[in-house]
Amino acid sequence: MKVTAEKNEKVANMIFASIYPLYLNRLEKNDRTKEELDQVIKWFTGFDQGALQTLIDEKASFREFFQKAKIHRNAHMIKGVVCGYRIEEIEDEFELYKQCRQMEKLIDELARGRKMEKILREEKK
């Protein structure tokens, strides 16, 4: 599937605080924890618990969320299909959409029981 400017804008305007509980609910149904969710988000965005809670309290949009994030240097290693979109095929002009899908891929892997050391990608030495 192809990302459109309209789709990108729709995601950019979504409120992170309204989506976070959905992520958490999905993970808890699969015996994963809030701490694990926050660990994955911290790895991907650089947000510690305080910064994450501030963004939730401020009802930051995904646009604001990703503008403030320091995306992990190994984010390019996140590949695969999420919601019908192959992450590595999302055009650079839709960076925000790609980042959102990358984060969802990490959360999806967590929900499916993948080990944390595999989710938090590191370059092979």
**Positions in the chain short of pLDDT 50:** none
pTM: 0.93
Q: CA 61 to CA 43: how far, in whole Å? A: 20
Q: CA 12 to CA 97: how far, in whole Å? A: 7
The amino acid sitting at 113 is: G
Reported as a single tens digit per residue, the pLDDT across 82-114 is 988 999 999 999 999 999 999 999 999 999 999
